[in-house]
């Protein structure tokens, strides 16, 4: 069973967390190459949980026009914008949202990128199920959705955007728990103009104990990846 390191970073500036990701990504890449050379078991990697202050991120294939306001307006809202090296379009991160950054060596799990994303989605779906919220997938789109097959009602509760290089991952998922959804009015989330966004708070009609959701999500993630946490 692969053993991963886990760190809950709490509330952290986006750039600081990105720098940490890059550092862990580079170190894992070096460790993986060394393990291959020495014919040893490859290292598995690290999972980070974090909350960010209000920030929008635009993926490398994103369309700038999906940000519906200028950066001066973002500043007036206390938000920032970063153009980053993950896949996907524009999304929002903010307080009350669990952002997960798995910096993983997929070889250690014997899976490819598609299976990796599928398992992340499943972990979130199972977490929502524990709160009696029925979620699933939308054909042709990543992430976790509610009422995915009902035109006009489909809404995303968790966005996913990843970067992989030689089987090592970074970036990850953003799960809306007690999130201020008004910030999504400033963008076409993930490039969609005909889909909504939601949060666990909105679906349940009340705020949820944030730590409880994190605990359930971590357990679901470890189960889906058949992993444990290393000391």
Across the chain, which distance is largest between two alpha carbons, in Å?
A: 54
For the stretch 150-202, pLDDT in tens is: 888 889 999 998 999 999 999 999 999 999 999 988 887 655 656 789 999 99
* 35 has pLDDT over 80: yes
* 30 has pLDDT over 60: yes
Other residues' Cβ atoms within 10 Å of the Cβ of residue 48: 21
Percent of the chain with pLDDT over 90: 67
Predicted confidence at residue 37, as pLDDT, reads: 85
Predicted confidence at residue 75, as pLDDT, reads: 83
Predicted confidence at residue 40, as pLDDT, reads: 85
At which residue do the structure tokens 């357990």 appear? Answer: 219
Predicted confidence at residue 187, as pLDDT, reads: 80
CA angle (48, 51, 57) in 5-degree steps: 95
> Who contacts 42 (Cβ-Cβ below 8 Å, separation ≥6)?
31, 32, 35, 36, 105, 107, 108
Give all domains of the chain, ordered by start, each with its CATH number.
3-226 (3.30.930.10)
Predicted confidence at residue 36, as pLDDT, reads: 82
Mean pLDDT for 127-146 is 94
Rounded Cα gap, residues 104 and 34, in angstroms:
16
Given the residues 81, 98, 128, 190, the one annotated as active site:
190
Question: Which pTM value belongs to this model?
Answer: 0.92
* 226 has pLDDT over 70: yes
Rounded Cα gap, residues 51 and 180, in angstroms:
13
Mean pLDDT for 3-15 is 96
For the stretch 88-126, pLDDT in tens is: 788 899 999 999 999 999 999 999 999 999 999 999 999
DSSP state for residue 176 in the 8-state scheme: E
Is 190 assigned a catalytic role? yes
């Amino acid at each position: 069973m692969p053993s991963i390191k886990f760190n809950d970073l709490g509330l952290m500036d986006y750039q600081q967390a990105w720098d940490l990701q890059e550092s862990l990504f580079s170190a894992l890449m070096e460790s993986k190459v060394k393990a291959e050379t020495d014919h040893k078991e490859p290292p598995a990697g690290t999972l980070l949980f974090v909350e960010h202050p209000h920030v929008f991120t635009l993926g490398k294939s994103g369309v700038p026009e999906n940000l519906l306001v200028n950066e001066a307006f973002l500043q007036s809202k206390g938000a920032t914008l970063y153009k980053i090296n993950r896949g996907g379009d524009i999304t929002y991160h903010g307080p009350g949202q669990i952002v997960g950054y798995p910096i993983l060596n997929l070889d250690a799990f014997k899976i490819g990128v598609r299976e990796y994303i599928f398992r992340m989605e499943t972990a979130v779906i199972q977490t929502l199920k524990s709160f009696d919220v029925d979620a699933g997938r939308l054909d042709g789109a990543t992430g976790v959705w509610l009422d995915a097959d009902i035109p006009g009602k489909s809404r995303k509760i968790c966005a996913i955007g990843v970067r992989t290089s030689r089987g090592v991952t970074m970036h990850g998922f953003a799960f809306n728990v007690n999130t201020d959804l008004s910030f999504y009015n400033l963008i076409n989330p993930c490039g969609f103009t005909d889909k909504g966004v939601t949060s666990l708070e909105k679906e349940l009609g009340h705020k949820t104990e944030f730590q409880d959701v994190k605990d359930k999500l971590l357990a679901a993630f470890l189960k889906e990846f058949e992993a444990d946490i290393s000391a």
